[in-house]
Structure 1
Amino acid sequence: MKKARFFLATGLVVFLVFGMVGVSLAADQPKFKLRLQSHLIPDDTKRGLTRFAEGVKAMSGGAIEISLFGVGAIVPMKETLQAVSMGTLDIAMYPEGFWFKTIPVSWVGMGIPFVFRDLEEAKYFMLKKGYLELLREGYAKHNVYMIPYEPFSIGLMTKQPVNKAEDLKGMKLRAYGTMADWMGKLGASTVVIPGGELYTALATGVVSGAHWGDAGPMYIMKFHEVLKNYMKPEPAIGSWNNLIVNADLWKKFTPEQRAIVETTAIGCGLMASNETRVICTKSLNDMVNKWEVKVNTLPEQELEKMRKPSIELQKEVMAGKDPLAVKAMGLLNDYMKELGYTK
């Protein structure tokens, strides 16, 4: 109930600010024309970020205008952090944890398999349990200010069904980050394949399965044409698409403008997350009814087997040398105890 009240209050704040701030800002506010590049294709960029860009413009009284660009339109995805740090890009949307080797604390935000049971738990951990502050400290070292945006789940589609933990052993799968680490401990081999090459790799048998968000993004990528099995529950709940803003630009904003950008981002991101959930439900239904995809729901005893390698990964991070990552895992462990999932 507390979580529900918190997120309802966040949404109400956004709508109230939408209605009042734009007409109350002084005419002498500094003006900005900004460029935001996303890691998503153009259509998904528009769907996920247009509300944010329009909201910031309206709430700032037209002082802040944001133009949206899809993946690779200005700089290659792998260069995005550096581009925002240097000011080549003003703002970027990125998948949390993409630079986890550079910013180890972001590993937790990639979505650790079989930790959170729903997205509400993931949102609360990010926004209310101290993880956001640790993330910002990690990103600040690279001259960027980080803002949480949209949480989502990570699904898994395969050619052969996954009905038990042992079924993953021997599979060759497209994966990276926390998912690749977890799959490796279950005996799967993994390889990183760019999105533009992934469908061909699946169709030709280079790999026999992949994760790419959950059912909605997978449907857009046409996984259902070549993969006929969808695992339930989704292995990882609580991965994030977030924003980074050039820190020098952030300092140029007035306090009111910083509040506008951040409040709008969090509110619109949560709305985008809800919209994505509906799209994913509809997409999975179409996969099942129109493309003969089978949903394989694992029993609790198999889920327990899959949680064990996840716990091993978390212990490895706790034993690591990065102080922010260790603190983040401590926060997560305390949160899991509060929820009654661990002792």
Structure 2
Amino acid sequence: MTNTSKAINRRSMLRGAAVGVLAAPALVGKGIAAGKVTWRIQSHWPKASASFEGSLVVMTKQITEATEGAFQFELFGAGEFAKGPDIYNLIRKGVVPMGTASGSYFQDKAQAASFVYGIPGALRESWEMQYAVKLGGLEDLVNEELIPDGVILKSDKVLPTEFVLSKKINSAADFQGVKIRSSGSMLDYLKAAGAAPQYIPGSELYQALSSGVVDGAHWGAATGAKSMSLWEVCKYHYKPGLGLTTDSYIMNVKQYEALEDDLRGVLDTACETRFYERSLEYQLGEAQSLSWGIAEEGIEVVQLPQDVLEMLAEASTKILETEGQKGEIAARAAGVYTSLMKDLGYV
């Protein structure tokens, strides 16, 4: 890990020990006493997305309240300054200090980014991915390369990936050539089973589905499908899930380090606590959203055919192996997965 990364991590741990007093009125720090700081945040989530409100809005409100209004935020939905992969460079250049992103958007910047995004078909439960990202060290491995590039990542949540289609799939033959909006390693995963995946930004997704540019999509799973109105045009919701993924907050390192210690401490603590809270909230939200979709939208939950699942399982093994060969950091990230999968009896 780089010296810069170690310094940031040491400071974060020291601040974390004092988190309980940061919001106490009797212990106002320099940053809070100095007055208002406002950060602009460019999100990859459209404002209609459940994550814009449930993740970004909730966390920034908590930070503003904990700092007695000293740390405020101006939030921008997908495409207002930049969208998708373009958000990374926006943050790196310091145009805005913070953004949200998927790990699939900066796989060329960090060898472990694909592993934080999630190796499809590898892990099965939300807690497993939470462990890999935090205690397993995947987030730290990503930051070994991002921090020297001027960006620091803090994970938002773990969420499942499931896709919806406008047509029913009964066999591998039906799956051939199906156009599915996807991103990152999921593109390779779906392609291996015969689909024709392609990337489309979230802000353009509904139009692409309603006009027939693509036959289906994944935007998270049930919660994402509901919030993005995907079930209006895609009545078939497919299980089992393709895998587990994460969303991320990314910040400009210079602007992050320029914050007064107390403001940065509140930001760090909010990111850490909301990661676990939001991951749990999302699991409940998935069940609620799917029940709503069946009752109100008339969706049909469909199990992927066994021959499709077999092709996906083979693709998962190949993707994990291929990603792990991209360098020394990638090999360490792959080791986090394989070690955990062995402990769980998956391999």
* Fold shared per TM-score above 0.5: yes
TM-superposed CA distance for 1:203, in Å, is 3.1
1:169-209 CA deviation, whole Å, 9 max, x = no partner?
33222222111110111111222223343333333433222
Change (3 A) 1:130 1:197: closer
Change (3 A) 1:166 1:259: farther
| Contact map agreement 1:158 1:209 (CA 8 A) in 2 | yes
Opposite residue 23 of structure 1, the aligned amino acid is P
Structure 1 range deviating more: 151-160 or 203-212: 203-212
The equivalent residue for 2:275 is 269
Q: Does 1:133 align with 2:140?
A: yes
| Contact map agreement 1:209 1:227 (CA 8 A) in 2 | yes
Select the residue among 231, 252, 256 that pairs with 1:246. 252
Q: 1:1-343 counterparts in 2 under 5 A?
A: 17=19, 21-29=23-31, 31=35, 32-44=37-49, 45-163=52-170, 167-237=174-244, 239-298=245-304, 303-320=309-326, 322-342=327-347
| Contact map agreement 1:162 1:231 (CA 8 A) in 2 | no
1:259-295 CA deviation, whole Å, 9 max, x = no partner?
3211111212332333333333222222222333211
Structure 1 range deviating more: 37-46 or 174-183: 37-46
| Contact map agreement 1:22 1:58 (CA 8 A) in 2 | no
Opposite residue 215 of structure 2, the aligned amino acid is S
Unaligned runs of 5+ residues in structure 1 are: 1-12
Opposite residue 21 of structure 1, the aligned amino acid is A
Opposite residue 303 of structure 2, the aligned amino acid is T
How many residue pairs end up in the alignment?
327
| Contact map agreement 1:18 1:59 (CA 8 A) in 2 | no
Counterpart of 1:98 in 2: which secondary structure? helix
Change (3 A) 1:61 1:286: closer
| Contact map agreement 1:92 1:243 (CA 8 A) in 2 | yes
| Contact map agreement 1:148 1:240 (CA 8 A) in 2 | yes
TM-score by length of 2: 0.84
Unaligned runs of 5+ residues in structure 2 are: 1-14
| Contact map agreement 2:30 2:260 (CA 8 A) in 1 | no
Change (3 A) 1:211 1:314: same
Opposite residue 257 of structure 1, the aligned amino acid is L
Opposite residue 247 of structure 1, the aligned amino acid is V
Identity %, equivalent residues: 24
Once residues 164 and 321 of structure 2 are traced to their aligned partners in structure 1, the CA distance between those partners, rounded to angstroms, is 28
Change (3 A) 1:326 1:211: same
1:30-83 CA deviation, whole Å, 9 max, x = no partner?
552211221112254233222211222233344322222222223444432222
TM-superposed CA distance for 1:150, in Å, is 1.6
| Contact map agreement 2:115 2:334 (CA 8 A) in 1 | yes
Once residues 246 and 53 of structure 2 are traced to their aligned partners in structure 1, the CA distance between those partners, rounded to angstroms, is 17
| Contact map agreement 1:168 1:183 (CA 8 A) in 2 | no
| Contact map agreement 2:22 2:266 (CA 8 A) in 1 | no
TM-score by length of 1: 0.85
Change (3 A) 1:286 1:58: closer
Once residues 296 and 269 of structure 1 are traced to their aligned partners in structure 2, the CA distance between those partners, rounded to angstroms, is 30
| Contact map agreement 1:166 1:186 (CA 8 A) in 2 | no
